[in-house]
Structure formats: C-alpha cells, structure tokens
Amino acid sequence: MSVTAAQGFQAAGIAAGIKENGNPDLALVVNTGPRRAAAGVFTANRVKAAPVLWSQQVLKAGELRAVVLNSGGANACTGPQGFQDTHATAEKAAEVLGVGAGEVAVASTGLIGVTLPMDRLLPGVEKAAAELSAHGGEKAAIAIKTTDTVHKTSVATRDGWTVGGMAKGAGMLAPGLATMLVVLTTDADLPADELDRALREATRTTFDRVDSDGCMSTNDTVLLLASGASGTTPGSEEFAEAVREVCADLGRQLIGDAEGASKDIRVEVVNAATEDDAVEVGRSIARNNLLKCALHGEDPNWGRVLSAIGTTSAAFEPDRLNVAINGVWVCRNGSVGEDRGLVDMRYREIVITADLAAGEASAVIWTNDLTADYVHENSAYSS
C-alpha cells in the first residue's frame, strides 16, 4: 500500500545500478492531483546533504509534483558537484514528467562523501517514470532500503480519505530525525500550511523520539504530499491524528529493524516537571551505552539508569527517583527497591519507567540495545 494507498498517487521502484549489488535503488513518487500541496521536515544537522538543501528550497512554495529518492549514496559532503547532481536529478524528473524542476523534491541515502553515479542515476529516473503505477508503493518502499532488512510502510484509513507512507532507516537513528527518508501521501484536500502543522506535530512526538544510536544524519527527510483526490477536507485534529498514527507506526518499525539490535527499548519518563524535562531525561537514558549493553545482556542494571538521569538538568531530587524495568520497581526513592531478580527480560521489548516525582508531564523515547552486531555492521559498512 505505502505511498499509493491514497488516491491521486503513482509510484515506482527500480534498480538503476547505483548500488553495486544490483538491488533496487531508485524510487519515484508522483502526485497526480488535482491538488499539489506539500510539506517537509528535515534533519536538524547543520551539515546537510545536497538533496536536503534542494528540497528545503523547493518546499518553500508549498507544492510538490514528485519526489525522486535514491539509496546507494547520500550525496552529503560532496560540495558544489553534489548540489549540481541533485539539481540534475530534479531536472531529469521534471523533463520526463512534464513538470517544473522546482516542483520536484530529491532525497538520497547511503554513504556520505561519495558523489552519485549520474550516468546510471539519470537513466534510472526515466526508467522509473516508465514504470509509474497506482500500485507501485511497495516497490518504491523496497527501492529506498539501505541496511534495512525489511521495507516499511503504513496506512491509516479514515472515512473517505487516507494517509499512507513509506520509510527507510536502520541506523544513525536520532532526534532531529532518524537517518531516514519518509514519504507520506494523502488524498485529503488540505492546504500546505495545514499539512505543515500536522507533519511537525506528528514528527515531534514520533520520529524525533526514536533514538537508536544517538547519531544524527545529514539526510533525514520527511515529506507529506496531498493530492486532494478524495475530495474530502478532514478536520485539522482528525487529520493530524491520522498523520501521527502513520508516523508512530513507521517509527516503531524503524526501531524494530535497527542495525544489530536484539531489544526494542521503550523509555517512559513520568511525573516530570515539564515535557522538555521528560524528553531530556528519556534521551539521556536512551543514549547511555553502558545501560544499552546491560539491557543487551538482560541485566536490569537500574544504577545505570540513575546515573544517566543524574547528568540532565531536569527538575528532580535524587532521593525521590523511582525506576521500574518491565514493571518491577527495582529502584525506590533513589535506592534499592524490589528484587531485581523479579525482572523478566527474555522478550524483545523492554520497558524502562523513570518516575521523576517532580510534576505531571511525561514522554516516551524509543531506543535499542547496544550489541556486538551493531559494532560489526557499522565497522564494516563502508569497507
């Protein structure tokens, strides 16, 4: 289903030869209208890949006709040549689709610091355009994979309209977005500012709270395109909720497929003075390498949770902190609580609850354990 679940969209995914192994590596998503409203959210990294710089500019007009996505190369840290290559990609798509280059967003993923093989990429755009189909969503989702073991799609269907989407991302997941490319589509009829509001609110509490390894990418891109093909204009709240649902589902799939991970860890921070405090504490716990190793070893090492909380500026008193692991309150009032032997950690999902006893705000951050497989995958990635 993916990006073609909503009416008014076509997609394709093909092998252009960018990846040396011959796997699919180029996707095209086209909005056939009647509306072209669009919004985007991009990495907060100050070192931004060429396609991010391009797509940010394009989106200022609030309209998109198409998105070209490639795996097999991030086109980041590639200087003026990289920007020219992104521009040429948009021009090529514009030419074959009969639209303007300023209506085409570009997204790339793969190794940083390597220029793209344009002699293969540009013919690939033509080939993808020839294969565009209202059923091409799955193929598009497959073509944007890098080290992902599965492709990720999600759909939320409402009364008369739909939000669908695809995502890729399996490492370098971090706030300010994960290393991910996400394209969401809807056949709802909504203006760009409404899409922008819904998308920002959704990513703030979903993708921005997925923090697999604390590393922030140069390429993260989340786009939302609206065709208006359903002829329906949902209420703002209702629409925002559907977008959030799809983003949350895709975010959960990203964590479930994170490189080398053996555990999916839900960090719940409760009774914080503010939501910002809750997020800061959640991130600090999610990024603690020692804790992530302990959880990999199924060791309910709550001392490392407290140690991580103690590095934050959040409001709390050390002797009022409580921590539960999988529902067992192993730390009460900053000290030894229930028997840690009661904690059952055999399953893939682990829930850590940190009670700051400082207010009523809360937040959830998702992360993974740290494993030897993670080290292996990331030490061998480019060689």
Q: Which of 19, 65, 168, 296 binds a copy of itself (CB under 8 A)?
A: 296
Look-up of token digits 């809360």: 362
Distance (Å, whole) CA 195 – CA 41: 11
284 is in an annotated binding site: no
Q: What is the three-class DSSP state of 23?
A: coil
The answer to whether residue 179 is catalytic is yes
Q: Could you tell me how many residues of this chain bind a copy of itself (CB under 8 A)?
A: 70
Cα separation of 264 and 267, whole Å? 10
- Residue 263 annotated in ligand binding: no
- Say if residues 64 and 104 touch (Cβ distance below 8 Å): yes
Q: Does 303 bind a copy of itself (CB under 8 A)?
A: yes
Instruction: Specify the stretch interacting with a copy of itself by CB under 8 A; choose among 10-18, 137-145, 244-252, 298-306.
Output: 298-306
Burial degree of 119 (CB within 10 A; 0-12, 13-18, 19+)? exposed
CB 349 to a copy of itself: min, Å: 18
> Which CB sits closer to a copy of itself, 34 or 297?
297
Among 55, 70, 71, 78, binds a copy of itself (CB under 8 A): 78
Min dist CB 246 to a copy of itself, Å, is 27
Contact (CB, 8 A) for 210 and 40:
no
179, 221, 312, 353: which is the annotated catalytic residue?
179
Residue from 119, 159, 237, 319 in contact with a copy of itself (CB under 8 A): 319
Asked if 145 and 215 touch (Cβ cutoff 8 Å), the reply is no
Residue type at position 187: D
**Contact string (CB under 8 A) for a copy of itself, positions 129-168, x = contact:** ----------------------------------------
Pick from 33, 34, 79, 327: which binds a copy of itself (CB under 8 A)? 79
Interface with a copy of itself, residue 342, by CB under 8 A: no
User: Known binder of ligand: residue 238?
Assistant: no
Q: Which residue intervals of 101-235 are DSSP H helices?
A: 118-130, 137-143, 192-205
CA separation for the pair 355, 333 (Å, rounded): 10
Between residues 342 and 372, which has the closer beta carbon with respect to a copy of itself?
372
107 Cβ contact list (under 8 Å, min separation 6): 51, 52, 55, 67, 68, 69, 70, 144, 181, 183, 219, 221, 223
312 in a labelled binding site? no
Residues between 17 and 56 with contacts to a copy of itself, criterion CB under 8 A: 44-48
- Minimum CB–partner distance for residue 86 and a copy of itself (Å): 14
Considering the complex, what minimum distance in angstroms separates the CB of residue 45 from a copy of itself? 4
Cβ nearer to a copy of itself, comparing 45 with 185: 45
Are 243 and 199 in contact by the 8 Å Cβ rule? The answer is yes
Using CA atoms of 194, 199, 201, 203 in order, give the dihedral in degrees to the nearest 10. Answer: 180
**20 has binding-site annotation:** no
- What residues contact 168, with CB distance under 8 A and at least 6 apart? 71, 109, 141, 144, 145, 146, 148, 151, 152, 180, 181, 182
* Separation between Cα atoms, residue 128 and residue 13, nearest integer Å: 6
**Nearer to a copy of itself among residue 153 and residue 371 (C-beta):** 371
Residue 383 among known ligand-binding residues:
yes
Handedness of CA 247, 251, 256, 259 (dihedral sign): positive
- Selected binder of a copy of itself within 61, 236, 335, 347 (CB under 8 A): 335
Q: Is residue 76 within the footprint of a copy of itself (CB under 8 A)?
A: yes
| Residue closer to a copy of itself, measured from CB, 4 or 218 | 218
Site for a copy of itself, residues 93 to 112, rule: CB under 8 A: 111-112
**Which ranges of the chain would DSSP assign to H, the alpha helix?**
50-58, 79-97, 118-130, 137-143, 192-205, 236-256, 275-286, 289-296, 302-309, 372-379
> Does residue 307 bind a copy of itself (CB under 8 A)?
yes
Radius of gyration of the chain (CA): 21
**Could you tell me which residues are annotated as the binding site for substrate?**
146, 168, 179, 259, 378, 383
Q: Which residues bind a copy of itself (CB under 8 A)?
A: 44-48, 74, 76-82, 111-115, 171-172, 176, 213-218, 287-290, 293-294, 296-299, 301-304, 306-312, 316, 318-319, 321, 331, 333-336, 370-372, 374-383
| Catalytic residue set | 179
